[in-house]
């Protein structure tokens, strides 16, 4: 079963969870708090993964990308380096997008 809220249906169990998680009875406030928390949690996970890559290569993604482009990086075409490049790039892009979304919720 769902409840109509601002033309959007939210399952009753989700409403109950939002209220219990946040201690807020105003659904819009509870939802915003939960979204902010979710974004912060995801950003923390991304930051941790970014730090892992920075430690592995001893540089930032921008430096890694520049070395790959200029050919200064040894074994730049190895499977591991290419995989890391794409995963690292994806993390940087996702972080940027989540930071943008976080600004919407201020």
Domain ranges of the chain: 2-104
What integer pLDDT is reported at residue 89 of this predicted model?
Answer: 97
Q: Are 100 and 39 in contact (CB under 8 A)?
A: no
Tokens 């996970």 identify what position? Answer: 45
- Indicate yes or no: pTM above 0.85: no
Contact of 105 with 34, CB cutoff 8 Å: no
pLDDT beneath 50, residues of the chain: 1
Show the tokens assigned to 8: 């959007």
Distance of CA 12 to the CA centre of its chain: 27
Taking the C-alpha atoms of residue 73 and residue 76, their distance in angstroms, rounded to an integer, is 5
- What is residue 42's predicted lDDT score, i.e. its pLDDT? 98
Helix and strand totals (H; E) in the chain:
4, 2
pLDDT score, position 80: 94
Can you tell me the distance from the alpha carbon of 30 to that of 103, in angstroms, rounded to the nearest whole number? Answer: 17
pLDDT given for residue 88 in this prediction? 98
pLDDT (0 to 100) of residue 106: 81
What is the pLDDT at residue 83? 95
């Amino acid at each position: 079963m769902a409840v109509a809220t601002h033309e959007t249906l939210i399952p009753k169990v989700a409403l109950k969870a939002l209220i219990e998680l946040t201690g807020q009875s105003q659904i819009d406030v509870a939802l915003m708090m939960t979204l902010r928390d979710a974004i912060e949690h995801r950003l923390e996970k991304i930051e941790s993964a970014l730090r892992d890559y920075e430690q592995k290569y001893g540089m930032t993604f921008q430096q890694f990308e520049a070395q790959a482009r200029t050919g200064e990086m040894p074994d730049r075409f190895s499977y591991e380096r290419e995989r890391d490049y794409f995963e690292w790039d994806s993390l940087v892009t996702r972080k940027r997008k989540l930071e943008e979304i976080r600004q919407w919720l201020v």
